Amino acid sequence: MSKVPLTAIGAEKLRVELHNLKTVQRPSVIQAISEARAQGDLSENAEYDAAKERQAFVEGRIQELEGKLGSAQIIDPRAINADGRCVFASTVILEDVNNGDVLTYQIVGEDEADIRQRKVSISSPIARALIGKYSGDIAEVQAPGGVREYEVVEVQYI
């Protein structure tokens, strides 16, 4: 199985979600199924069907998270010695060459990506264009509206 890159923070969030699923969600679903069974005829019991669907979702998510955490390669950006190069888990400050807008992104794993928090997936076009770049380099990003150019202002490992 291939390794799944995660930041330490991302791995901890997945562990918290897994713990919640096992200790809160799973018992809640079991209780709901038990209560629905007590109502009698299961063939026309919508509450039973809904509880079984919820159980399937919870169990599937538990398996998915256990698999990801089991094959995780946890990377701490502070422990990286990349000599100023843009790598996984680094935070990159960029300047749009066309309009001068300054953007900050952290390159993270697929499960951690959240554009509202300025975290982009390692497989995203912008992250792929940035990997290996140094401060002062220009990264060309293939965007839906065409090629965009960003100058790497600074690479941080925080």
Q: Which among 72, 81, 93 has a CA at the least distance from the CA of 135?
A: 93
| pTM of the full structure | 0.81
Give every CB contact of residue 71 below 8 A, 6+ residues apart in sequence: 1, 2, 3, 4
pLDDT higher than 70, residue 48: yes
Residue 42 confidence (pLDDT): 72
Summarize pLDDT for 62-76 with one digit per residue, the tens.
999 999 999 999 998
Per the listing, tokens 């940035």 go with: 130
